[in-house]
A and B are shown apart, each in its own frame.
Chain A
């Protein structure tokens, strides 16, 4: 089985108060020098069968219709292991 990862991130122009809350907490914990934090989602898909172009196309469609809301989010699909 191959693993395909879909990373979903808020579009750059969308305010991310969760990321900001994390960023503001960092100096309190002694971690300096982080100018900005944005929080996203990572989906790890265990794919049955070969990860060929047809499978990747299906995953792309899945990411576009369901995993990401393309009104507010961008996504990247990448094959992490297997063929």
Chain B
């Protein structure tokens, strides 16, 4: 049976098509999910794609978090379903309290778009198993509200439990505390990150590398072996 991976489209989502393509290139069956639909259509995992859901009104991700599809995703994520939030999707996951902390306006106030080097700090989550621990990768980054913050106690906890999944290398593009680019929940099934692996899955686009593809092959393997 084919593994089905859903990609959610909210009003204002931009990167759903790229995410669907990444899922297909990894060998899974991509399934489009609509934000007003509570039904997840028997998907085995979910990607919350990047963009500006609800125009980032109120706060990035704050309104989407209360959409019908998120009710089911929050429930399923707590039950162990793999969920990956990319950029705006990461913001939705923090607003939904599936991941700790919050995302704020970049410290320099500019929208930033660049190829970003990252270090894989945790290669044991549902979405990172196909990377090596400590591997350095390069994927595109583009955001306005990418500054990850949490209180000191939460940051210490994340570090101690190995839940900082990705860290910015060479430069910190947005003022994220402790150079955090991505984190995971305690169970390792929910991962959020600011840069865009779905834009680096074919040699012809993005960075010209395919450093982002292992995200999608990792979850596929995880689901097949489960």
Task: Give the interface of A toward B (CB within 8 A).
Answer: 13-15, 17-18, 21, 66-67, 69, 71-72
Knowing A14-B149, A21-B109, A67-B58 are in contact, say whether A72-B104 is a contact too (CB < 8 A).
Answer: yes
In the complex, the answer to whether B149 meets A72 with C-beta atoms within 8 Å is yes
Q: Which residues of A contact B102 (CB under 8 A)?
A: 69, 71-72
Given pairs A18-B109, A21-B109, 15 additional interface contacts (CB within 8 A): A13-B151, A14-B104, A15-B104, A15-B107, A15-B175, A17-B106, A17-B108, A17-B109, A66-B62, A66-B66, A69-B59, A69-B102, A71-B100, A71-B150, A71-B151
Interface of chain B: mostly helix, strand, loop or mixed: loop
> Residue B21 at the A interface, CB < 8 A?
no
5 contacts between A and B (CB under 8 A): A14-B104, A15-B149, A17-B108, A17-B109, A72-B104
Interface centre among A17, A21, A67, by most chain B C-beta atoms within 10 angstroms, is A17
Give, as a whole number of angstroms, the nearest-CB distance from A65 to chain B: 9
In this complex, what residue of B is CB-closest to A65? B66
List chain A residues, Cβ under 8 A from B94.
71
The interface residues of chain A, by DSSP majority, are classed as loop
Total inter-chain residue pairs, C-beta < 8 Å: 35
Kindly state the separation between the CA atoms of A66 and B175 in the bound complex, as whole angstroms: 25
Q: Which residues of B contact A14 (CB under 8 A)?
A: 104, 149
- Please give, as numbers and ranges, the residues of chain A lying within 8 Å of B59 by CB-CB distance: 69
Nearest CB of B to A34, in Å = 19
A18 neighbours in B (Cβ, 8 Å): 105, 109
Which residues on the A side are within 8 Å of B109 (C-beta)? 17-18, 21
**Shortest distance from the beta carbon of A7 to any chain B beta carbon, whole Å:** 15
B95 contacts chain A at the CB level, 8 A cutoff: yes
Task: List the A side residues contacting B105 at CB < 8 Å.
Answer: 17-18
Q: How far is the CB of A16 from chain B (nearest CB, A)?
A: 9
Shortest distance from the beta carbon of B88 to any chain A beta carbon, whole Å: 15
Alpha-carbon separation in the docked complex, A33 to B104 (Å): 28
Q: Give the residues in chain A near B162, CB-CB below 8 Å.
A: none
Collect the chain A residues with CB atoms within 8 Å of residue B62's CB: 66, 69
CB distance from A78 to the nearest CB of B (A): 20
Complex contacts, A71 vs chain B, CB 8 Å: 94, 100-102, 149-151
